[in-house]
Structure 1
Amino acid sequence: MSGSTGRSLGRRTFVLGTTAAAVSATALTPTAAAASFGYTDDGSNYVVDTGANLVFKVSKTNGDLTSLVYRGTEYQGYGGKNSHVESGLGTSTVTIAQSGSTILVSVAYGTLKHYYAARSGENNVYLWTNKADTSVSATRYIVRVKAGLFLNDEPDSYTYAPTTIESADVFAKSDGQTRSKHYSKLRVIDYSYIGWTTGSVGLWIVRSNHEKASGGPFYRSLLRHQSADGGGLYEILYYGENQTESERFGLQGPYVIAFTDGGAPSSSLYAGNLTTSWADSLGIFGYTAASGRGRVAGVGISGRDTAYAYTVGLANSAAQYWGSARASDGYFSITGVLPGSYTLTVFKGELAVYTSSVTVTAGGTTTLNSIAIPSSNDPSNASAIWRIGTWDGTPGGFKNADLMTYAHPSDVRAASWTGNVVVGSGTETSAFPCYLWKDVNSGIIVYFKLTAAQAAAAHTLRIGVTTAYANGRPQIVVNDTWTSAVPSPPTQPSTRSLTVGSYRGNNYTFTYSVPASAWLTDTSAYNTLKIYVASGSGSTSFLSAGTSIDAVDLLT
């Protein structure tokens, strides 16, 4: 993963899981079932033996996972804490039942219900969480892992980062590199599992399909961390940071705690591949079997820019889904969808370029004719005198853009956030900072020339943004003679974003009608565009009002 310092960590290594090919898929098949499959009661916990190499315990008092023993080694726990929903549920009703080759532990805490399932002969724990309301503030499951078993010095660790630089969760090492549990680099669509491997033991969380999560396919959240105390692996179902959607409620899962002999978890566990017909009759509250779900398929998408990947999303207040459009023709198929009416959105990169409605029925396939994206829906199709960046809903290509998904803006690896831009230099995009802050680099100058005919006409200037912090939004000054009004702030998340590895908010385009009188008539002279960040909110430095840039252009 980018950002490695190359520090030797001895015999232990790590992996941040993304795809099936990320780790050699060795020893992925379940161990044959053994006669020891079953459960016991030790007085305080239900003790489940999977009949393979995994024994785990669930507290009868609060539903915490109190032990994870794989091949005789205890992996669970650090700082006196167990693995659990949120920071622990408190006194709960905990029951256990065996149905053939499946054992189910059920936890009820008020309106929240949580489940652990074991299958005979597998080194996996299947989990579901049903959150019915806001009585539990956020929804995550954290697997707490003992210190020293897996070590790393990657962006999402802070073992070797002694200095706190922001909000007690962003740290700096002595060499100036930054670390935080927020710096996973990955969007939800980018990974199937998360975890570590020593080469001989792998411990992973295989994510669920996130149908009851919020934020869509491009949402970023903390996935794991490691410190001197130990490590944590997360399944985040709703995290109140940089959220663009309201919280969804209902049953989420399964997500899977999986042990392997060092390789990646089996791809049969991945969301979209996993089949759980064995759970259909277990009585999991809110569970919908495959037969009660539907599918949406599109025969193709025209009007695409083939230089970009396209994603199709489905969303309503109850659920969300997504799938990739085939590069050759735009064909897509989204399966396992709960019945209902959804907004269908086609994304070019991360920029929405088409929306419609679709209805899904249980057991049915909704087939859509070829979707035609209107040319006007893609801002890249507008004729421009000049353009900085690309209209894809991300700050990709701008200065420091890639680094900002796994580092703090103060990181020593970041190029200077100041500096001006010259159109026609060939470095317009790479010299333009991906983020602008009121207290850091507000007032950046773009230099450009116009022909006599161009200078004789009014033009529209556009600035696309992907998110903002503290209502930061761009105000422009042209040639120090014409100043735009301060635009109203669009709806954006109210929490941190730019400093915790995420540029994902609500894409918005600011437009400015610049009169002909603002331009220089000397065609050999450079016009100047100054972009300021306007806002009375925020604090100082990188927590002052700011915004992330998608593209800037001057239309013909």
Structure 2
Amino acid sequence: MKLALPLAVLLTHAATSVLGAFQLTSTSSAYTVDTDGGLVFSVSRTTGDILTLVYNSVDYQSKEGKWTHINSGLGTSTVTAATVGSDYIKITIVSAANPVTQYYVAKKGDSVIYMGTYITGEVSPGELRWLARLDKTNLPTSIRDPASDNTGGVAIEGSDVFLADGTTRCKFYSSDRFIDDLVHTVSGPGVYISLVMPGTAYETSSGGPFMRDINNQETSTQQEFTFYMNSGHLRTETWRMGLKGPYAAVFSSTGPASGTLDTSFFSGLDILGYVPQSGRGRVTGTASGVPSGFEAVIAWSNTENQYWTRASTSGSYTSPYMKPGTYTMKLYKQELLVATQTVTVTVGGSTTSNIASTEVVAASPVFRIGEFDGQPFEFKNGDKFLGMHPSDTRMSAWGGNYTVGVSTAADFPMALFAKTGGPATIKFMATSTAKRTLRIATTLSFKTGRPSVVINGAWTGADPGAPVLIDSRGVTRGGYRGYGESYEWDVPAGTLVVGENTLVVGVTGSGDAGFLSANYIVDAIELY
């Protein structure tokens, strides 16, 4: 049932229709900003909630009594607004209950809300997101239609995985890797609303370049549109404090926004935690040793900041402009960590730091299934799980048989579960009974899931011990990035036979039934 709008919101909404130039106006309940670019928005003076989002005379804010804000609302806050010079309007929201200061900035002539979120501590309820609750009537098209649309769905796991029209849906299926997630957009007739995370918007988030988080959830009436800055979803790092952003909501009638957005004017707006380009430095150099056909990604991090870039095909790279400090520098082969070193960044400086892969590759393995690259996409269901629950009828059967020299990686399951789907059986030929090494690399574990291995029904590999527990569901919500454990077993001489051999790969670990039992996601397997 739709809730009646408060009188203050009705009055604010009515006021927007009479504005028509770059200006800030106010009532006792709200500030209203006209950007003079077709966008008019209003902000509550008591909570900092955005109450209206009027673009080209249409209000895209949901009218169901839940607004656009940080998390699910900051509650009672000190809200101030001011015109800065002739070209900017800044609204500042200081939460009374949380260590959060939120900024909304309008630039004359733009149809953009520029934003920054400054935190000095962890935020209740344990995540940090900017959430726009938008009217689906006018914005029917989302990022991942219909994978993140729970309209008419019945919950099948927790309160966030649904079955609707015979397919599985989940808000987590709207995610993109941070390194790729510069822009995401919802749209409707004649309108595109994009969240843009330009430049170093993720520098004080956590998780690195391959972290993924919720971008969008659809209900029957709303588009819930989000920029996740920190969360407990497959969390592998502690939270970072400071300024999140700048980021922006861009309104357009011609198409999605680009990922390049100039926010350098923040330097003149007294934004807490903002560091201009002049207060930063860069790192340049060459990344080597990553084989052709694999992307080379370089990342830098310390307890305060994180950054990343891609190397060119020749291996050369230039970092983003980084805050000064000492960083751990990492080289990834696709998403597999292959080198680590330390580098120091100075203000105004350009540090040269070449980095080379230290990965050791078995020259002539008995067999190798998949690529050691930190990703499971080449395996069975690896092309589907980012947007489907493992129980989805569109998935291929889990577990199964693999014959070296006959099967392809797409025949081997990308994930194995302790209490459903069964193990994976590998048939392979050996020409010697000599001692060998078995290696299984994983990208993510759940409920302490790790591989169990049996060769020829006679030799059982020792339990490698429980991996570090990540207290978050993974594969059932389209996640695959964790700590990336790799396990090795010495296979004694005489274990293999000349001719055909059988390796059964299963799961050791605790957990519930079905797909929430102990499980892990496979990166690659080899015997050498």
TM-score scaled to structure 1, two decimals?
A: 0.88
Determine the C-alpha separation between the residues in 2 that align with 1:302 and 1:418.
Answer: 37
Q: Which residue of 2 aligns with 1:3?
A: none
Q: Does 1:112 align with 2:86?
A: no
1:313-336, CA deviations, whole angstroms, 9 ceiling, x for partnerless residues? Answer: 001111100000001x11111122
Q: Does 1:195 align with 2:185?
A: yes
Determine the C-alpha separation between the residues in 2 that align with 1:197 and 1:64.
Answer: 22
1:445 maps to which of 421, 425, 443: 425
SS at match of 1:337: coil
Summarize the Cα distance change of 1:115–1:347 in structure 2 as closer, same or farther, 3 Å threshold: same
Structure 2, unaligned runs of 5 or more: 1-18
1:144-163 mapped onto 2 (5 Å cutoff): 144-152=133-141, 154-163=145-154
Q: Which residue of 2 aligns with 1:10?
A: none
Report the CA distance between 1:36 and its aligned residue.
Answer: 1.2
Determine the C-alpha separation between the residues in 2 that align with 1:134 and 1:159.
Answer: 30
Q: Which residue of 2 aligns with 1:398?
A: 379
Q: Does 1:367 align with 2:352?
A: yes
Determine the C-alpha separation between the residues in 2 that align with 1:129 and 1:488.
Answer: 41
SS at match of 1:221: coil
1:499 maps to which of 465, 476, 479: 476
| CA contact 1:464–1:510 (8 Å) conserved in 2 | yes
1:285 maps to which of 250, 258, 272: 272
| CA contact 2:136–2:222 (8 Å) conserved in 1 | yes
Report the CA distance between 1:301 and its aligned residue.
Answer: 2.1
2:109 maps to which of 105, 121, 124: 121
1:176-230, CA deviations, whole angstroms, 9 ceiling, x for partnerless residues? Answer: 3211111025211123211222352111111252001111111111101111021
1:196-211 mapped onto 2 (5 Å cutoff): 196-198=186-188, 200-208=190-198, 209-211=201-203
1:31-50 mapped onto 2 (5 Å cutoff): 36-50=21-35
Q: Does 1:415 align with 2:389?
A: no
Q: Which residue of 2 aligns with 1:186?
A: 176
Query: Would you say how many aligned residue pairs link Structure 1 and Structure 2?
Result: 502
1:276-325, CA deviations, whole angstroms, 9 ceiling, x for partnerless residues? Answer: 1x221211111111111111111x22222011111000011111000000
Summarize the Cα distance change of 1:35–1:77 in structure 2 as closer, same or farther, 3 Å threshold: closer
Summarize the Cα distance change of 1:194–1:267 in structure 2 as closer, same or farther, 3 Å threshold: closer
SS at match of 1:542: strand
Summarize the Cα distance change of 1:78–1:513 in structure 2 as closer, same or farther, 3 Å threshold: farther
Determine the C-alpha separation between the residues in 2 that align with 1:78 and 1:353.
Answer: 50
Q: Which residue of 2 aligns with 1:251?
A: 243
Structure 1 counterpart of 2:299, one-letter code = G
SS at match of 1:304: coil
1:321 maps to which of 291, 295, 307: 307
SS at match of 2:373: coil
Determine the C-alpha separation between the residues in 1 that align with 2:153 and 2:263.
Answer: 44
| CA contact 1:442–1:533 (8 Å) conserved in 2 | no
1:483-504, CA deviations, whole angstroms, 9 ceiling, x for partnerless residues? Answer: 1111112225221011101101
TM-score scaled to structure 2, two decimals?
A: 0.92
1:442-494, CA deviations, whole angstroms, 9 ceiling, x for partnerless residues? Answer: 4321111111xx22x11000000000000100011111111111111222522
Structure 1 counterpart of 2:352, one-letter code = T
| CA contact 1:156–1:224 (8 Å) conserved in 2 | no
Q: Which residue of 1 aligns with 2:513?
A: 540
Structure 1 counterpart of 2:145, one-letter code = E
| CA contact 1:197–1:262 (8 Å) conserved in 2 | no
Determine the C-alpha separation between the residues in 1 that align with 2:164 and 2:320.
Answer: 45
SS at match of 1:504: coil
| CA contact 2:151–2:218 (8 Å) conserved in 1 | no
Report the CA distance between 1:236 and its aligned residue.
Answer: 0.4
Report the CA distance between 1:135 and its aligned residue.
Answer: 4.1
Structure 1, unaligned runs of 5 or more: 1-33
1:49-448 mapped onto 2 (5 Å cutoff): 49-100=34-85, 101-110=87-96, 111-136=99-124, 137-152=126-141, 154-174=145-165, 176-198=166-188, 200-208=190-198, 209-269=201-261, 274-276=262-264, 278-298=265-285, 300-327=286-313, 329-368=314-353, 370-374=354-358, 377-378=359-360, 380-425=361-406, 427-448=407-428
Determine the C-alpha separation between the residues in 2 that align with 1:476 and 1:266.
Answer: 48
Determine the C-alpha separation between the residues in 2 that align with 1:78 and 1:531.
Answer: 53
Report the CA distance between 1:266 and its aligned residue.
Answer: 3.9
Q: Does 1:465 align with 2:456?
A: no
Determine the C-alpha separation between the residues in 2 that align with 1:313 and 1:387.
Answer: 28
| CA contact 1:155–1:406 (8 Å) conserved in 2 | no
| Range 210-219 or range 191-200, more displaced | 191-200
Structure 1 counterpart of 2:470, one-letter code = P
Report the CA distance between 1:98 and its aligned residue.
Answer: 0.9
| CA contact 2:115–2:245 (8 Å) conserved in 1 | yes
Q: Which residue of 1 aligns with 2:453?
A: 476
Summarize the Cα distance change of 1:533–1:180 in structure 2 as closer, same or farther, 3 Å threshold: same
1:497-531, CA deviations, whole angstroms, 9 ceiling, x for partnerless residues? Answer: 1110110111121001111222224x2xx211111
Q: Which residue of 2 aligns with 1:528?
A: 502
Determine the C-alpha separation between the residues in 1 that align with 2:49 and 2:115.
Answer: 12
Report the CA distance between 1:267 and its aligned residue.
Answer: 4.2
